[in-house]
Amino acid sequence: MRQLLRRGLVLTVGAALLAGCGLAGSPPDGGRATAGGHVGHSADGRRRAAPKAPKPPKVVRPTRPWNVHPGSVVALGDSITRGFNACDPLADCPEVSWATGSRGKIGSLAQHLVAGAPATRSWNLAETGARVADLPAQARAAAVHKPAMVTVLIGANDACAADTDGMTSVAGFRSAFGTTMAYLHKVLPGTQVLVASIPDLLRLYSVGVTDPLEKQLWRLGLCPSMLGDPDSHTASAEHRRTEVRDRVVAYNTVLRQVCAAYTRCRYDGGAVFGYRFTADELSRWDWFHPNQKGQTELARILSAVAFGPDPS
């Protein structure tokens, strides 16, 4: 009897030791545990992998409708889009405009958009000297043609005032541009709008300031808020130029923000502002406006925006 009790005690202690070492109750055929529990087995004895956690749903951004093959284009804006001083002194030259130019190898948007179509499928309604306050009237004129695309490059003249106090306020700029976009959206709901950023006027100053002839031309009154007294590097002169540049940056922010509110509007992402114009891309009659080579560069930059992926 005492031997039976001792034998039973040994068996009980042995089972407890086996359980403590993880051997008791282990899966048959050497099955291994996983982070999610023991690996299961199918009816035929094969090991079955633990179920994988479901993948989170993919976030899909809504598409912004944009036709890279519109049939017509209307250009709005100022002297840059009119090709001012690009061909002859003190004269517009829309034939080489980045937007609607038809001459040679400019590579304008119109040449891309309406290749092989009559020239009347593009209209240049920009005006030399125009400010953003003139844009609503240009938009009304554009609506008559019912274009598939409208381009806008405006704002340099709003910063090119007699002095910094005369620059268009940011609020005023937003109001005029916002009114224009609301009008186009209402009367031409299917028309898409390509918005170009304003060039960096401080960059244009830095290109021409080293040439004596250029500075003489600037003294005739071209963009005095930036180009006036070009040889002065006093604290007040530097502050004035910085203030003009900051205002252009603020205008470009308005262009981006207002454009983003409309599904059929595309902003260039600051590409024109960021482009570093060189002396051989500027008019020899004012060293400020793009010449034909400069217009070609603008056409290249903005064609990439018009025909490529949305830079925003």
Q: Which amino acid is at 16?
A: A
Confidence of residue 55 (pLDDT cuts 50, 70, 90): low
Confidence of residue 113 (pLDDT cuts 50, 70, 90): confident
Confidence of residue 48 (pLDDT cuts 50, 70, 90): low
Bridge partners (DSSP) listed for residue 33: 38
What average pLDDT does this structure show over 151-157?
98
What average pLDDT does this structure show over 35-52?
53
Is a pLDDT exceeding 70 seen at residue 238?
yes
Is a pLDDT exceeding 50 seen at residue 36?
no
Count of beta carbons in the 10 Å neighbourhood of residue 262: 17
What average pLDDT does this structure show over 109-128?
79
Is a pLDDT exceeding 90 seen at residue 211?
no
Domains of the chain, by residue range, sit at 73-307
Is a pLDDT exceeding 90 seen at residue 136?
yes
Report the distance separating Cα 155 and Cα 153, nearest Å: 7
Q: Residue 105: is it exposed, middle or buried by C-beta count within 10 angstroms (0-12/13-18/19+)?
A: exposed
pLDDT for 210 equals 79
Per-position DSSP letters for 127-161, written without gaps between them:
-TT--GGGHHHHHHHHHTT--SEEEEE--HHHH-S
pLDDT for 50 equals 58
Average pLDDT, the chain: 84
Q: Residue 34: is it exposed, middle or buried by C-beta count within 10 angstroms (0-12/13-18/19+)?
A: exposed
Consecutive H or E run containing 84: none
**Mind listing the pLDDT tens digit for each residue in 257-310?**
999 999 999 999 999 999 999 999 999 999 899 999 999 999 999 999 998 888
Confidence of residue 39 (pLDDT cuts 50, 70, 90): very low
pLDDT for 84 equals 97
Confidence of residue 108 (pLDDT cuts 50, 70, 90): very high
Confidence of residue 63 (pLDDT cuts 50, 70, 90): low
Angle at 61 between CA 302 and CA 275, to 5 degrees: 20
- Among the listed residues 312, 299, 309, the one whose alpha carbon sits nearest the alpha carbon of residue 110: 299
Q: Quick one: three-class SS letters along 267-294?
A: ECCCHHHHCCCCHHHECCCCCCCECHHH
Confidence of residue 209 (pLDDT cuts 50, 70, 90): confident
CA atoms within 13 A on the CB side of 266: 24
pLDDT for 140 equals 98
- Please state whether 126 falls in left (phi above 0), alpha (psi between -120 and 50) or beta: beta
Reported CATH class of domain 73-307: alpha beta
What average pLDDT does this structure show over 215-241?
90
Least confident of 41-55, 120-134, 238-252: 41-55
173: tokens are 């700029």
Is a pLDDT exceeding 90 seen at residue 89?
yes
Is a pLDDT exceeding 50 seen at residue 3?
no
- Among the listed residues 109, 104, 137, the one whose alpha carbon sits nearest the alpha carbon of residue 123: 109
Parallel/antiparallel/unpaired status of strands 40-41 and 47-48: antiparallel
pLDDT for 307 equals 86
For residue 178, report the phi and psi dihedrals to the nearest 5 degrees.
-65, -40
Consecutive H or E run containing 308: none
pLDDT for 62 equals 53
Is a pLDDT exceeding 70 seen at residue 220?
yes
What is the share, in percent, of the chain residues with pLDDT greater than 70? 78
What is the share, in percent, of the chain residues with pLDDT greater than 90? 66
Least confident of 38-42, 90-94, 187-191: 38-42
Predicted TM-score (pTM) of the model is: 0.79
